[in-house]
Amino acid sequence: MSGALGLDALDGYAAPPPGSHQLLTPPAPEPPFEDPGELAQVWGERWGASDEVGRLRKVLVRAPGPALEAIAPQHYRPELDALVDPDGNWYFTGGAAPDLAGFHAEHAGLVATLRAEGVEVHVAEPLPFPFTKAGYVRDPLVTVRGGAIIGRLAPRMRRGEEADVTRTVAALGLPILATTVGSATLEGGSFMKLRPGLAALGTSVRCNREGAEQLRATLARISWELMVVDLPGFVVHLDIHFAMVDRDRALVNAEGLPYTFMEDLRALGIELIWAHPQEPWALNLLTLSPGRVLTSTAAPRTAELLRERGIEVLTIPFDEVHRNGGGIHCSTMELLRDDA
C-alpha cells in the first residue's frame, strides 16, 4: 500500500497493536472531494459546475411570492422613476405597481423554456414579506465543481435568504463547501467562472474585499484561482456587464468594466463581443450550452449581434421581472453543468 500503512506494517509484532484492524479499511484521502467520480459515488451526483457554459443539467429558481403584493404605487419617487419604500425595504422601477399576473407568467415561461431544453428545474418555495427580491436566487450562493459556497447578502432587506437557500440546496443533495462569515458580503451575481480552475469576482457596493478574500481561500482549497475585479461606481454585480456565452467568448458592456479586466480576458484568449449599449438587460443571460444562450426579448439588437457571431439565441419576455431589479441570470443558479 504505497504511501499508507498497510497490514505489512504489522510485521514483527508479537501481537497486533490495539485498533490495528483499522488497516483493513485504510483512510482514502484521494481522489479529492470534488473529483466527479467521488461526488457521484458519495453524494449521488457530480454536483456543481466548472464553467458557465457547459450543458446545463440542473438549475434552481424560486417561485414569485406574496411579498410582491406589498409594492404599491403611492411610494413613487419621480426623481428616481421608481417605487421605493425604505421602511419596507423594497424598491421597484417605474411608476406602476407590479403586474402580478404578468410577473408570474414570465417566471413560468422561464421554467417552461428550461424544461423544454431538457434542464431539470428545481423550484424553491416563495418567501414571505419582506423578501421581495428572493426570486433572484443567484445572489445568496455560488456554485463550483463540488457544491455551493453560501454568500452573505449586503442589503438588510435581503438578509435571511441565505439560510433558506442553504436548506433548499442541501435537501437536494448539493454539498455546502463553505459559508461566508464575519463582516464579509458576497453575492453570486458578481461571480463568474471563466474556465475550469479560474473565476472572477466583482467587488462592489454588494461584494466587499473581505468577501473576496474568504472566497479566495475557499477556492484555493479546491485548487481554483480568483481574479478580483473592482467594479466602477455603483455597479452592483458583474453579471450586469459580463457573460460567458461560449468556451472562449464573452458578451461584455465596456461601460461597466475596468479596462484592465478586459485586457486580462483577452490575455486568456477570450474573445469579447460588444453588447448593444442601449440594451441594459442584454448581459443578464443564461448560457444553456456552449454557444447557446437564453436571453430576454428586451435585447433584440444584442441578440442579433450574437447570432451574427454564430451564437444560438433563445428569447423569452422578462420585462416585468426586470422591474424588480434582476434578469434571467439573476433568477437562476446552476446546480449541475457538464464540463464544457
> Domain map of the chain by residue range?
46-337
Q: Is the pLDDT of residue 16 over 90?
A: no
pLDDT in tens, 277-335: 999 999 999 999 999 999 999 999 999 999 999 999 999 999 999 999 999 999 999 99
The percentage of the chain sitting over the pLDDT mark of 70, rounded to a whole number, equals 96
DSSP reduced 3-state for 16? coil
Q: What gap in Å lies between CA 187 and CA 149, rounded to an integer?
A: 10
- 136, 109 Cβ separation under 8 angstroms: no
12 band by pLDDT with thresholds 50, 70 and 90: low
Cβ contacts of residue 188 below 8 Å, gap of 6+? 138, 139, 140, 141, 142, 151, 333
Predicted pLDDT at 143: 98
Whether the predicted model's global pTM rises above the 0.85 cut: yes
Predicted pLDDT at 61: 98
pLDDT in tens, 197-206: 999 999 999 9
Residue 4 has phi, psi (to 5 degrees) of -150, 155
- 74, 68 Cβ separation under 8 angstroms: no
7 band by pLDDT with thresholds 50, 70 and 90: low
- 165, 138 Cβ separation under 8 angstroms: no
DSSP secondary structure code for residue 305 in this structure: H
DSSP reduced 3-state for 72? coil
Q: Would you give the distance in Å from CA 195 to the centre of its chain? A: 15
Enter the C-alpha cell of residue 138: 443567484
Sequence-distant contacts of 238-241: CB under 8 A, at least 24 apart:
238/189, 238/190, 238/191, 238/192, 238/200, 238/201, 238/202, 238/204, 239/138, 239/189, 239/190, 239/192, 239/283, 239/284, 239/329, 239/330, 240/189, 240/280, 240/283, 240/284, 241/283
CA distances from 20 to 15, 28, 311 (A): 10, 16, 60
Query: How high is the mean pLDDT of the chain?
Result: 94
One-letter amino acid of 30 = E
One-letter amino acid of 44 = G
Q: What gap in Å lies between CA 96 and CA 44, rounded to an integer?
A: 46
The CATH H-level (homologous superfamily) assignment of domain 46-337 is L-arginine/glycine Amidinotransferase; Chain A (3.75.10.10)
Region for residue 71 given its phi and psi (left: phi exceeds 0; alpha: psi -120 to 50; beta: otherwise): beta
23 band by pLDDT with thresholds 50, 70 and 90: confident
Q: Would you give the distance in Å from CA 71 to the centre of its chain? A: 26
pLDDT in tens, 164-179: 999 999 999 999 999 9
- 94, 82 Cβ separation under 8 angstroms: yes
Strands 141-144 and 120-124: unpaired
